[in-house]
Structure 1
Amino acid sequence: MSAVVFDLDGVLVDSEPVWEEVRRAFVADHGGQWQPDTQQRLMGMSTSEWAAYLSGELGVRLPADEVARGVVAHMARRYEDGGVPLMPGAVDAVRRLAARWPLGLASSSPRVLIDVVLDRTGLTASFKATVSTEEVARGKPEPDGYLLAAERLGVDPAACAAVEDSSNGLRSAYAAGMRVIAVPHPRYPPAPDALALATYVADDLGDLTPERVAAAMRTGT
């Protein structure tokens, strides 16, 4: 194995509840209607994709670019005022694996939020390459973000393990040809068919040791 590529939201940062709260409020404040399946559909979308969805499908009375700016500004303020809501064991897991392999990050968050999170958690130097799906043509479940992360790391995607939590993220990493390690979020579990794509399902980030990651990579070959 040559590298490990992490997702950010839901894996390292418990941000999905914050995203849901912020976007729900934004939709309600601007005349839209949140649907029962909205949060699951949004997970993994790029900024342009979810902004267009809120504007076009949920009835928010603003153009997509204004939706994106407004929601991201609210998210940045939440991180600045309340701190970054790290998943338990996130920093230790990153540092454990960074001591053995180069790490990448393939996130659906906008670049500004990725940089804020890594800076505030002291993890910037742990990642050799980071990708926001703003920087690729298609968001998750398409493989574009993971493929670009592998390219920036200078490694073959097939020689990478990806750490994911969501249905769209698992599908994205699998489509990129990576070995997929799932760390399901307890509040937003992935669909069974997406979870079935994982070579290994970890109980939590404490379960993510170099030995288990290496074994999962061998199992997937």
Structure 2
Amino acid sequence: MLVDSEPVWEEVRRAFVAEHGGHWQSDTQARLMGMSTGEWAEYLHELGVSLSPERIADGVIQQMKARYHRGVPLMPGAVAAVARLAGRVPLGLASSSPRALIDAVLAETGLGAHFTATVSTEEVAKGKPAPDGYLEAARKLGVAPERCVAVEDSSNGLRSAHAAGMRVVAIPHPAYPPASDALDLAWRTLPSLAALTPDILS
């Protein structure tokens, strides 16, 4: 939700699939959103990419790191929203990105100091829409899931946080809007990160 990563992921993975003999499908991007590293690497292999899932993951992640090193595409209002919330509540991050990219983003942006706990879905059994990542973030925070509020912009993210028993604030991504059934799971829907305040979470 902090990084406008989906356009970059789509560009990098689509080019990688084409370069290595695979065939991108019309629903590929929607299916990939929320998958853990192992899950999406296996899926790209199934699309015909002529490399092992391990080599697919490594190749894509290295390209993503290079893109982020040139500049992290933060969502509008992300830095201010984190600063507003960090002074009032402990913050956790449950991301589908691999650990290497989470650490790179937090280091490049200086946001890492605001988060008490961070989790990559490659560190749990299943990626989104399974609740594993959010449950692990709550465990690391030492807070019961039902006392947590998750902020999400994608269908699988909304499903994941809701399945974990959390209240979910939806801030739909304009280019990749959540499916209506996923959006129905939201406790509140906001137009942007600028509207995300501590009072909203009460």
Q: Which band: TM-score by shorter chain?
A: over 0.9
**Residue identity matched to 1:21:** E
Mapped partners of 2:72, 2:131: distance in 1? 27
Tell me whether 1:78 sits opposite 2:67 in the alignment. Answer: yes
Deviation of 1:213 (Å): 1.7
Give per-residue Cα distances to partners, 1:16-64, cap 9 Å, x unaligned.
00000000000000000001111010000000000000001x1111110
Question: Aligned to 1:115, what secondary structure does the other structure show?
Answer: helix
Aligned pair count?
Answer: 202
Tell me whether 1:123 sits opposite 2:111 in the alignment. Answer: yes
The aligned counterpart of 2:140 is 152
Question: Aligned to 2:92, what secondary structure does the other structure show?
Answer: strand
Identity %: 70
Question: Aligned to 2:201, what secondary structure does the other structure show?
Answer: helix
Tell me whether 1:27 sits opposite 2:17 in the alignment. Answer: yes
Give per-residue Cα distances to partners, 1:48-81, cap 9 Å, x unaligned.
000000001x11111100100000000001111x
**Residue identity matched to 1:77:** A
The aligned counterpart of 1:69 is 58
Tell me whether 1:192 sits opposite 2:180 in the alignment. Answer: yes
Tell me whether 1:143 sits opposite 2:131 in the alignment. Answer: yes
Q: Pick one of 49, 52, 57 that aligns with 2:39.
A: 49
Mapped partners of 2:5, 2:159: distance in 1? 20
Which runs of 5 or more residues in structure 2 are unaligned? none
Q: Pick one of 17, 28, 40 that aligns with 1:38.
A: 28
Mapped partners of 2:194, 2:8: distance in 1? 23
TM-score by length of 2: 0.99
Q: Pick one of 151, 154, 164 that aligns with 1:176.
A: 164
Q: Pick one of 99, 103, 110 that aligns with 2:87.
A: 99
TM-score by length of 1: 0.91
The aligned counterpart of 2:49 is 60
**Residue identity matched to 1:197:** L
Question: Aligned to 1:128, what secondary structure does the other structure show?
Answer: strand
Deviation of 1:95 (Å): 0.9
Give runs of aligned pairs for residues 159-170 of structure 1, distance below 5 A.
Answer: 159-170=147-158
- Provide the aligned C-alpha RMSD in A: 0.5
Mapped partners of 2:111, 2:57: distance in 1? 26
Deviation of 1:211 (Å): 1.1
